Amino acid sequence: MARLQLPVLRPLRRVLARLGGAVFVLWAVASVTFFAVRLIPGDPAQAVLGGPGSQASAEALASVNAEYGFDQPVIVQYFAQLGRLATGDLGRSYSLNLNVGPLVLSQLGGTLLLAVLALALAWLLALALATWSTQSGRIASRVGSALEIVAAALPHFWLATSLIVVFSIWLGVLPPISTGGALGLVLPVLTLAIPLAGFLGQIMRESLLRALESPFVLSARARGESERGVRWIHALRHASLPAISLSGWAFGSLISGAVVVETIFARPGLGRTLLNAVTLRDVPVVIGVVMIVAVAYILMTLLTDAVSRLVDPRLRLS
Amino acid sequence: MGEEVALRVRNLRVGFGMADPVVRGVSFEIAPGECLAIVGESGSGKSVTARSLLGLAGSNARVSADRLELVGHSVLGLTEPAWQARRGKDVGLVLQDALVSLDPLRPIGREIADSLRLHTGLGASARAARVLELLDAVGLPDPEMQVQKLSGQLSGGERQRALIAAAIALNPPLLIADEPTTALDVTVQAQILALLERITGAGTALLLISHDLAVVSRIAHRVAVMHDGVLVETGRTERVLGSPGHQQTRRMVAAIPADKPRGTRLSAADTPDPPSIPSTPRRPDTAIDSVPEIPPNNTVVLEAIGLSKSFRRPDGTRQLAVDTVSFALPRGSTLGIVGESGSGKTTTARLLLALLTPEHGEVRVFGQPWSTASEKTRRALRPGVGAIYQDALGSFDPRWSVAEILSDALGLGRQRRAPQTTARLTTLLDEVGLAATVLPRRPLELSGGQRQRVGIARALAGKPQILICDEPVSSLDVTVQAQVLDLLDDLQRERGLSLVFISHDLGVVAHVSDQIAVMRAGRSVELGPAARVFAEPQHPYSAQLLAAVPRLSV
């Protein structure tokens, strides 16, 4: 009996472990965000009543303090917040007087689109650069490596402004701010994709070179495999493995990059929502955005794990 | 006449970039069904020669020859697509370790079917059927089960068989095997050699590349000895090994430890007639026929009493790595522990060094508790127990110079250039036969033999009475191995060291040991005087190991 259950139990145990890990991450994210937002100077009740400039009366402040529980000790507020989060209640925005859940979800689509497109483009650019620079001689290899280092070092804000100057102001071919159409996506996606492509390209090129020098590639060549066959059947598969594992992390960095990019290109999305909420000390929105991003990040990590297992059959063995 | 050779090479020269050629005018030919072995030390140019025959010497290689003919066709200056059409069809290649020579991400069935896909018009089901035939032909049981497996799921011998199957998929008239058995245990090595012999028996010409004369002497019809890019001697195997003409051949023949009595020098390169010149016997009782169980008047310095240790497998069950192992090591003697990979040798070494704690049993050193003592107590005794490892390079901090490594081992920290430190370092290096010029170098800048000597010097720094040597010569060339074995022998004689010598190579163990313990699956299946175990093994497994030991078959 026990033997029959074992093959079923093992994946189940893995899923449970993952789920436990995810819950832990969400708890940690919620806690850190809760206390970090406390460190922003200013009175939360003021924030509810329209910020420091609103000159709210003492009674109004007191009633807000009582209503929102701001007069309670921080630790009580913390557990109350956790309790609400556990039931899926993200609360109400202080500044917009809207429910945070629907608000955040309505902004999620735009940011996700941006991040997914940027990730896909970064992969394409990195693959092209790595493949070209490893097969076109020594100079190509130097150029490729230099391009990767420069690209990986570019800050988003500088790249965004430079792209606007070149494509919108000089050439006038692309809109400097997002107008909702597909054209408006080009510059934001490029801004996010180029540094990531440099980073992924460095990793891919290194593992591609290592794979090309390995004995199994020599064996394949000795069987009469062509250069293209060696690359597509053997080397690129090995080269993509570390880049796949890092894509989960890369996705997280794309979403944080979206804060800058959405602000510069005036695109609606989670990034801008988050920035506004932090400026206005809108705690529920900040926590809501951070939680959604954490969930997306966890899902992306699970996805990269699944893709890794697909590409690397060794991971499916034990 | 010309059609009768599978491969003809005349004056082959290979160089890289601007540097001097590494292969300098090599000529040989191989007939169908013949096995020619090219034997040489690492760096002699033998692998480069082999790869040039497939057009795979590398993109920056300059290959030239008067003639280079594969089954009657010149392959000089072939274009890459023309080479691709020949590789796998006219010539197959088998490399050393199949764990890395087969793509670890692809099932072996796919790898084996590659040549069929590339060179024949066979459909998928015909290819699959042929793969099963091939796996059966190379002696892999249960072919249907194996085709789906990854190379990492197979044992070393199974992998090597799969790799050979991939190379002979199209029955190429020439098969090149570059160190095909080097990473394998002796018994598996013997099986793979038998398989290669069967393939040549069927009419395939085999070019065998190896550093080990004893291995190739089993199946090679002719031997060519390569040294510094030149074939210094070529001839029938019996002739070359029986009466070697060139000094390099003599050195390599003399370096083979199997069947040489304890105390025989292996690295007497400069003597004209090196085989079996015994150096002055260290003790009368080390003569091959009179080793007593325990030499009299000798105290036991290291004792293992019923040691057991298990590890957790990935699925949660426990595997017994060492199972009730006991022995006693008298002062000044050598205990050889021999067994195949996975037999528990290294775990035993770690238990003896108290790097692992046994679950049952006890280790005693100098008659005092060792494995049961606290690390604090042990630390005072640790200088008395030295260790030498197989991977000398990996056991050093790559950023440290030899001077730093040794002064650290002497307990002086990494401080440099105090005159008395340098003096002590020089003495230490002198004992292991190294000049003081290596002091400023880093491990990567040393040769394999020099690294192992530094490793031994480091072990000697604490003035140990016991040395635990875990595969100390396994990654070395035969002639370098011979020098290191001789060095250990000298040190033992001069310092009265007691050695535990662990190796998978029964030939080496038999040469250095007074007592031998044969390990299998964690158990010590036989323990006795070396000469007795070698001459009349009691356990069938010892006999099997012994039969597989490569020795000169002349």
At B280 the pLDDT is 38
Residue A73 backbone dihedrals phi, psi, to 5 degrees: -60, 150
Name every chain B residue with its beta carbon within 8 A of the beta carbon of A211: none
A181 in contact with B at a CB cutoff of 8 Å? no
In a domain, A58, yes or no: yes
Residue positions counted in chain B: 554
pLDDT in tens, B25-79: 999 999 999 999 999 887 788 889 999 999 998 878 889 999 999 988 999 888 9
Instruction: Give the span between the Cα atoms of B449 and B453, in whole angstroms.
Output: 6
At B292 the pLDDT is 37
In a domain, A104, yes or no: yes
A42 and A175 belong to one structural domain: no
Average pLDDT of chain A, as a whole number: 85
A224 and A283 belong to one structural domain: yes
3-state SS assignment for residue B140:
coil
Q: What is the CATH number of the domain that holds A294?
A: 1.10.3720.10
pLDDT in tens, A267-309: 888 888 888 888 887 888 888 888 888 888 888 888 998 899 8
At A100 the pLDDT is 86
Name every chain A residue with its beta carbon within 8 A of the beta carbon of B315: 318
In a domain, A93, yes or no: no
3-state SS assignment for residue B38:
strand
Instruction: Give the span between the Cα atoms of B432 and B318, in whole angstroms.
Output: 42
- Out of B93, B105, B153, name the one closest to residue A222 (CB): B93
Find which of A13, A138, A217, A219 to mutate to test the B interface (most B CBs within 10 Å of its CB): A219
* Entry pTM: 0.78
At B82 the pLDDT is 93
Write out the residue range of the structural domain in which residue A255 sits.
100-316
Instruction: Say if residues B105 and A311 touch (Cβ distance below 8 Å).
Output: yes
pLDDT > 90? residue B231: yes
Q: Which of A224-228, B58-62, B498-502 has the lowest mean pLDDT?
A: B58-62
3-state SS assignment for residue B176:
strand
Instruction: Say if residues B509 and B151 touch (Cβ distance below 8 Å).
Output: no
Token output for B168: 């002979």
Token output for B445: 């800048």
In a domain, A157, yes or no: yes
For chain A, the domain total comes to 2
A31 and A72 belong to one structural domain: yes
Instruction: Say if residues B500 and B352 touch (Cβ distance below 8 Å).
Output: yes
Instruction: Give the span between the Cα atoms of B27 and B225, in whole angstroms.
Output: 12
A165 and A220 belong to one structural domain: yes
A179 and A239 belong to one structural domain: yes
Instruction: Say if residues B368 and B381 touch (Cβ distance below 8 Å).
Output: yes
A250 and A284 belong to one structural domain: yes
In a domain, A21, yes or no: yes
Instruction: Give the span between the Cα atoms of B216 and B224, in whole angstroms.
Output: 11
**pLDDT band, very low/low/confident/very high, at A219 (cuts 50, 70, 90):** very high
In a domain, A294, yes or no: yes
Domain end call among A86, A108, A136:
A86
A75 and A193 belong to one structural domain: no
At B438 the pLDDT is 87
A168 and A61 belong to one structural domain: no
Find which of A216, A230, A232, A316 to mutate to test the B interface (most B CBs within 10 Å of its CB): A216
C-alpha torsion angle, residues B253, B257, B259, B263 (rounded to 10): 110
Kindly identify which residue of chain B lies nearest to residue A223, measuring between CA atoms.
Answer: B88
Helix %, strand %, coil % of chain A (to 5): 80, 0, 20
Average pLDDT of chain B, as a whole number: 85
ipTM of predicted complex: 0.77
CATH number of B284-398+463-548: 3.40.50.300
Domain end call among A86, A110, A127:
A86
Instruction: Give the span between the Cα atoms of B264 and B125, in whole angstroms.
Output: 59
For B379-491, list the strands marked E by DSSP. 385-388, 466-470
> What's the mean pLDDT in A173-190?
81
- Out of A223, A226, A314, name the one closest to residue B150 (CB): A314
A200 and A281 belong to one structural domain: yes
CATH 3.40.50.300 domain position(s) in chain B? 284-398+463-548
CB < 8 Å from A in window 13-72 of B: 51, 54, 56
Instruction: Say if residues A215 and B160 touch (Cβ distance below 8 Å).
Output: no
Instruction: Give the span between the Cα atoms of B121 and A289, in whole angstroms.
Output: 58
Q: Name which of B519, A208, B469 is nearest A217 in CA terms.
A: A208
Strand partners, A13: none
3-state SS assignment for residue B79:
coil
- What secondary structure letter does DSSP report for A179? -
**pLDDT band, very low/low/confident/very high, at B212 (cuts 50, 70, 90):** confident
Q: Which residue has the tokens 């002796």?
A: B186
Nearest-Cα distance to chain A for B317, in Å, is 13
> Could you tell me whether strands B23-30 and B174-178 are parallel, antiparallel, or unpaired per DSSP bridges?
unpaired
Instruction: Give the span between the Cα atoms of A164 and A156, in whole angstroms.
Output: 12
Q: Name which of B510, B520, B515, B503 is nearest B546 in CA terms.
A: B510
Buried b (16+ CB within 10 A) or exposed e, B156-180: bbbbbbbbbbbbbbbebbbbbbbbb
A127 and A211 belong to one structural domain: yes
Q: Hey, are the CB atoms on B105 and A314 less than 8 Å from each other?
A: yes
Name every chain A residue with its beta carbon within 8 A of the beta carbon of B314: 318
H/E/C letters for each residue in B391-406? CCHHHCCCCCCHHHHH
A7 in contact with B at a CB cutoff of 8 Å? no
A113 and A77 belong to one structural domain: no
Helices (H), B69-179: 80-86, 98-101, 108-119, 124-137, 143-146, 156-167
At B265 the pLDDT is 77
Q: Hey, are the CB atoms on B100 and A215 less than 8 Å from each other?
A: yes
A29 and A148 belong to one structural domain: no
> What's the mean pLDDT in A119-143?
89
Is the alpha carbon torsion for B462, B467, B468, B474 positive or negative? positive
Annotate B423-439 with DSSP letters as a single string.
HHHHHHHHHTT--GGGT
3-state SS assignment for residue B517:
strand
**Amino acid sitting at position A127:** L
In a domain, A54, yes or no: yes
**pLDDT band, very low/low/confident/very high, at B11 (cuts 50, 70, 90):** very high
A172: region left, alpha or beta (phi > 0 left; psi from -120 to 50 alpha): left
The residues, any chain, with a CB within 8 Å of residue B514's CB and separated by 6 or more, are B262, B286, B291, B295, B333, B334, B335, B529, B530
In a domain, A254, yes or no: yes
Domain end call among A86, A108, A135:
A86
